[in-house]
Structure 1
Amino acid sequence: MADKHRISFEPVDIEMEVGEDEKILDAAFRQGIHLMHGCREGQCSACKSFVLDGEIQMERYSTFACNDAEVEEGYVLLCRAHAFSDCTIELLNFDEEELLNSAPLQRIRTEVLEVVPHTHDIVGLKLKPVDPPAYEFKPGQYADLTIPGTDEHRSFSMATIPSTGDHIEFVIKKYPGGRFSALLDDGIAVGDTIELTGPYGNFTLKNGHVLPLVLMAGGAGMAPVLSLLRHLSETGDTRRIRFYYGARTPADLFYLDEIRALGERLPDFGFVVALSESAEGADALGVAAETGMVTEVVEAREPELHRSEVYLCGPPPMVDAALALAARQGVPDDQVFYDKFTTSVRDE
C-alpha cells in the first residue's frame, strides 16, 4: 500500500491526506475539496500552485502550462503532481465559496436514452442515471465518460441542469478517428451502459454576483452555456444577459428554438450568432446574425465589456481570442470564466 502524506493548503487553511500513488488534485476531489482545475491533463495551468515545503514530483505535462523556470522555482500542476512527503502548498487560484461547497465527486452507471444529430458534426447524447439513480452537479460543469469496452475516458460538458434529474445531456463534437465521438455514429446505442465520473469544472455561476453577463461559445461549447441559460431562466435572473455563438454557416446552428424560449423568460436577454464563412439563409432562422468571428462581433457590440462577467467556452483558438479581447477591454481577471476544449481530452 502506498505511503500517505498530509497536504496543507495556504492561504485557505485546509488540510488533506494524499497517497503517493494518486495525484494531489484527484485526492482533493476524493475528499470533497474543490480546487481550481481545467483540463486535468497538465495542459492548461488552471491548477498551477506553488510548493512552500515538501517533496513533489510531476508526471508528464506541457511546458506551456508550467515552464522549466517555473518548475525550478517551485511551481507545480496539481493535476500531475504526486507528494512524497508532507507538503505545504500555496494555492494561486481558488474560489473560497466553492472549495468546500461544491458537488462531491461521484461515479455512476448510466443508460443511453438518446443519440441525436444536431448538425453534421455535433451530436446530442442523453444518459439516464441508473446506479445510483441521482447525480449532483452545478450548471456549467463537465463529466468524464468511459469509452465503452476500455478503461479510457473522455470529458464532456453537461447541457442539463440539476432539476432535470431524469437525464444528463451532452453536446459532443465529432472528430475523425475520435475514440468516443466515432462511436456516436456506429457503436453507442439506446440502452447501452456508460460509466460516468464527475462533476468537474469551475465554469459555474457565482452566488450573489450582480454584474451583467456576456456569454460566448463556439461548437460544442454550446453545452455548458446552455446549462447556464437554463439555470438563469429557471431562477428568473434579472441581469442583462447577452449570448454570442460562433459558427461557420447557418447549417452549423442548433437549439435555436430553445434559446429563443429561454430568452423570453428572461427580462433582458439578447442572442446573436456570428457566422465566420457565410450568413446566407440566416434570415430565415429568425435570429440576429452577423458575419465574422464571434470575438469581432462581441467587440463591436459590447463596448462596456469590462463592466460584465464574461463566460467563454469552445475550441482553444476561440477562447484564446476571447481572452485577448477581454484583456484589451480591461475586463478584470476575476470577471472572466472560461472552459477551453482540447480534442484529446475535452470534446475529442
Structure 2
Amino acid sequence: MGDKHQIRFEPVGIDIEADEDETILNAAFRQGVMLMHGCKEGQCSACKSFLLEGDLQMDRYSTFALADYESEEGYVLLCRGHAYSDLEIELVNYDEDMIRSGLPVCTAATTVESIEPLTHDISLVRLRLREPGLRFHPGQYVDIRIPGTDEHRSFSMANVSAAGGLLEFIIKRYPGGRFSGLLEGVLSPGDPLELTGPYGTFTLRSASDRRLVFVGGGAGMSPILALLRQMAESGNEREAVYYYGARTERDLFHLEEMARLARQLPGFRFVPCLSQDAPAGWAGEAGLVTEVLERCEPALAECDVYLCGPPPMVDAALPLLENLGVPGDRVFYDKFTTTAAAGQ
C-alpha cells in the first residue's frame, strides 16, 4: 500500500481518501461515492474531470478518451488517475443525487444457479450469492471475473435486489466469447464465479416526473427490465414506453413479462421493432430502433431517455437525441466499450 491522500470533489463538496496504489475512481467506489464512469479502463471519457490542484499521475489511456490538448489543459481521467498529494478535482459530468446515493463496491462469491436459453443467442443466467450483503440499485451492473484469469466482463442485473440471494442476468452469447462462450456447455450449476460491484448510474431518478422513454436491444433489456420491475413493485405511475430493437421475431423474448408489466403499469407500452423480415400483419414497428424512435416520438425533448443495447445502437442514438433537442442531463446510459461488449 502507498501513502494516502485526501481528495475533494467540487462543486459537490465531497471528500474521500485515496491510496497511491488505487485509482481515484476505485477509491471513490470503495467509499460508496458513485462518480460518473463508463469503461473504467481509460477507453471512454465518462469520468473525465478537471484537476484544480495537486499531483495526479495517470496510467496509460486512449487519446480518444482524453486528447493530448485536454491533458495539457488539466483534464484527467479518474479511472486512470492516482493521487500523489492531496487533490482538488472539479467534476465535469456528475449527478449529485446519484453520487450521494452510491453503495460501497465489494467482491462477492457466487455459484451458478441456472443457465437457460432465451433466444438462439441470448441466455438467462442466475447466480446465487454464497453470503448475503451485496446491495445494488436497480439498473446497476457488476464485473464478473472470467474463471482462471484476471479478466472480467460487465453485466447488468435484471432483478430489483438480491434479497432472495439470487442475481439474474440477460447475457448475449458471442462465438468465442471469453465469458459468454462459457455459457455453452462449460459453466454448469454449482460452478463458482466471483463478481465485484455494484457499478453504474443507470438508475431511475426519483425527483423527475417526466415521461420515460426506454430504448434498447439485445441483452440491453437486462437493466431496463430491472427498472420496469422496480416501477411495478413501487406502484410508480409515470408514463413510460419501451422501444426494443431486434432483427427478426425469433430474437424477441420476455414478451409475456412485457404484457404483464403493461397490465401492472397502466401508463406503460412495449413496442418491439424488427429491422429485418417483419411478417405480414406484424403488430409492432419495422426498422432500426433509432429510426422508429425518431418516427414515433416527436416530443422527446420533454422526456427522460434511457438507452441500453449494443454499442453501435447507443452511438447512433446519442447524436439523434441531441439533434431532437433532448438535454444531455435527461439521457441516461452506461457506456460499455465495444471491446468489452464484443469480447464477452
TM-score, normalised to structure 1, is 0.95
**Residue in 2 that maps onto 1:195:** 194
Do 1:36 and 1:202's aligned partners in 2 also have CA atoms closer than 8 Å? yes
**Residue in 1 that maps onto 2:45:** 45
Q: In structure 2, what is the Cα distance between the partners aligned to 1:221 and 1:317?
A: 12
Q: In structure 1, what is the Cα distance between the partners aligned to 2:268 and 2:162?
A: 22
Alpha-carbon shift at residue 282 of structure 1 (Å): 7.6
Amino acid in structure 1 at the alignment position of 2:72: E
Do 1:314 and 1:341's aligned partners in 2 also have CA atoms closer than 8 Å? no
Equivalences for residues 86-97 of structure 1 within 5 A: 86-97=86-97
Q: Does 1:123 align with 2:123?
A: yes
Q: CA RMSD in A?
A: 1.5
CA distance 1:164–1:281, shift in 2 (3 Å)? farther
**Residue in 1 that maps onto 2:56:** 56
Which secondary structure state, in structure 1, belongs to the residue aligned with residue 144 of structure 2? strand
**Residue in 2 that maps onto 1:26:** 26
Alpha-carbon shift at residue 344 of structure 1 (Å): 3.2
Q: Does 1:294 align with 2:293?
A: no
Q: In structure 2, what is the Cα distance between the partners aligned to 1:219 and 1:269?
A: 20
Equivalences for residues 114-153 of structure 1 within 5 A: 114-131=114-131, 133-153=132-152
Do 1:233 and 1:263's aligned partners in 2 also have CA atoms closer than 8 Å? no
Alpha-carbon shift at residue 98 of structure 1 (Å): 2.2
Q: How many residues get paired? A: 343
**Residue in 1 that maps onto 2:105:** 105
Which secondary structure state, in structure 2, belongs to the residue aligned with residue 104 of structure 1? coil
Q: Does 1:279 align with 2:278?
A: yes
Do 1:38 and 1:339's aligned partners in 2 also have CA atoms closer than 8 Å? yes
Which secondary structure state, in structure 2, belongs to the residue aligned with residue 43 of structure 1? coil
**Residue in 2 that maps onto 1:176:** 175
Amino acid in structure 1 at the alignment position of 2:233: E
The CA deviation string for residues 5-60 of structure 1, in whole angstroms up to 9 with x for no partner, is 22111111122211111110001111121111111111221111000111212222
Q: In structure 2, what is the Cα distance between the partners aligned to 1:84 and 1:5?
A: 7
CA distance 1:281–1:120, shift in 2 (3 Å)? farther
Do 1:315 and 1:340's aligned partners in 2 also have CA atoms closer than 8 Å? no
Do 1:314 and 1:340's aligned partners in 2 also have CA atoms closer than 8 Å? no
Do 1:156 and 1:346's aligned partners in 2 also have CA atoms closer than 8 Å? no
CA distance 1:188–1:212, shift in 2 (3 Å)? same
Do 2:44 and 2:337's aligned partners in 1 also have CA atoms closer than 8 Å? no
Q: In structure 2, what is the Cα distance between the partners aligned to 1:253 and 1:281?
A: 17
**Residue in 2 that maps onto 1:4:** 4
Alpha-carbon shift at residue 325 of structure 1 (Å): 1.6
CA distance 1:38–1:244, shift in 2 (3 Å)? same
Alpha-carbon shift at residue 341 of structure 1 (Å): 3.4
The CA deviation string for residues 275-318 of structure 1, in whole angstroms up to 9 with x for no partner, is 112112784xxxx4222100110111111111110000111211
Q: In structure 2, what is the Cα distance between the partners aligned to 1:92 and 1:212?
A: 26
TM-score, normalised to structure 2, is 0.96
Alpha-carbon shift at residue 62 of structure 1 (Å): 1.9
